[in-house]
Chains A and B, each alone.
Chain A
Amino acid sequence: AQSVTQPDIHITVSEGASLELRCNYSYGATPYLFWYVQSPGQGLQLLLKYFSGDTLVQGIKGFEAEFKRSQSSFNLRKPSVHWSDAAEYFCAVGALNKLSFGAGTTVTVRA
């Protein structure tokens, strides 16, 4: 069965600073990987996904993620954070018609 670990429960970053959120997955075959964002009181919105091909994936809102098979990682990055990026971020691995989500990382942006 697949699983996802997000090691950081909470990250605080200054507006304009860079952001990196870590994600490690466990799956025996080629993974399908996703990052979703959840603003307070809202549902989840897809930021980006990796199925195959280029290991650096571009997403919406200026986010990107890099798939590293050797490290079983799919870390999310943004060069310059905006106050509106304050939210909870979920990494997920997909297989067999299902997604398995990590516990999430809450991002706080300080002025």
Chain B
Amino acid sequence: NAGVTQTPKFRVLKTGQSMTLLCAQDMNHEYMYWYRQDPGMGLRLIHYSVGEGTTAKGEVPDGYNVSRLKKQNFLLGLESAAPSQTSVYFCASSGPGQGGADTQYFGPGTRLTVL
């Protein structure tokens, strides 16, 4: 049982390049999330999904796109990377829980640097 995995662990991009971060979970969770973590700002929600084929915007969605074609996978795309997107990205998943706010299980993170 691997839990939540993220690929890749590290990546360096040049401004304007594109890339996709992959998140996979094996817990049959309905909900999946993408966060970014920056010093002194905690975790901020980028996009999330409440089920296969659905996505929704979070707190800081600009410059990112997501897709949830399979229940176990949640992809985060950067179409044209900018230095402001240098951050650590975390994926998480959860069940529907009580009132839609259950325990989230986090991946190990992807450290992205945009030059």
Contact = CB atoms under 8 A, between A and B. Distances in A.
Interface in B30-44: 31, 33, 40-44
A96 B90 contact: no
A98 B42 contact: no
Interface string B101-115: 111111111000000
Interface in A67-108: 90, 94-104
Contact of B106 (A9, A45, A94, A95): A45
Interface string B37-53: 00011111100101000
The interface centre, meaning the residue of A41, A43, A45, A100 with most chain B CB atoms within 10 A of its CB, is A43
B98 interface: yes
The A contact surface, by secondary structure, is strand
Contacts of B106: 36, 43-45
B104 to A, nearest CB: 6
Contacts of B103: 34, 46, 49
Interface residues of B, number: 28
Nearest to A43: B106
21 contacts: A32-B97, A36-B106, A41-B109, A42-B109, A43-B106, A43-B107, A43-B108, A44-B92, A44-B104, A46-B103, A46-B105, A51-B98, A94-B102, A95-B101, A96-B101, A97-B50, A98-B45, A98-B100, A100-B45, A103-B41, A103-B42
Interface of B: 4, 31, 33, 40-45, 48, 50, 58, 90, 92, 96-109
